[in-house]
Amino acid sequence: MSRLRALFATQVIADRTTPYLIRSVLTGVGVFTSLFGTLGLQYLAPTRVEMILALLLLATFAVASAALGQLVVIADLLERPHAEVVAEPQRVG
């Protein structure tokens, strides 16, 4: 039983990489949403007004999901102690 408990208690992703993973996933969702809006919506054959409204809603969702991903990273950086943020090397990407 202790081996099973250890298996489920083992951390797969480090605590400090989780916000960056969430940011990447939400940015991917935003990109997929905008690509669907520009490429896939025309096959549903909406009217011109429906197309414009749908694209506006999809664009709003895409921007909001990317912004939410950035806010998760900012919130994580604000929660860290100052010494830990200064000691960590800069991440690119």
Per-residue pLDDT tens for 29-46?
A: 888 888 888 888 778 888
Q: Is the pLDDT of residue 85 over 60?
A: no
- Cα 20 to Cα 70: distance, rounded to the nearest angstrom: 9
Q: Is the pLDDT of residue 83 over 60?
A: no
The tokens for 74 are: 């900012």
Quote the pLDDT of residue 3. Answer: 76
Distances (CA, A) of 86 to 4, 29, 77, 82: 38, 31, 11, 6
Indicate the pLDDT class of residue 22, thresholds 50, 70 and 90. Answer: confident
- Find out whether 29 and 65 touch, Cβ atoms under 8 Å: yes
Q: What are the φ/ψ torsions at residue 45 (nearest 5 degrees)?
A: 55, 55
- Cα 87 to Cα 73: distance, rounded to the nearest angstrom: 17
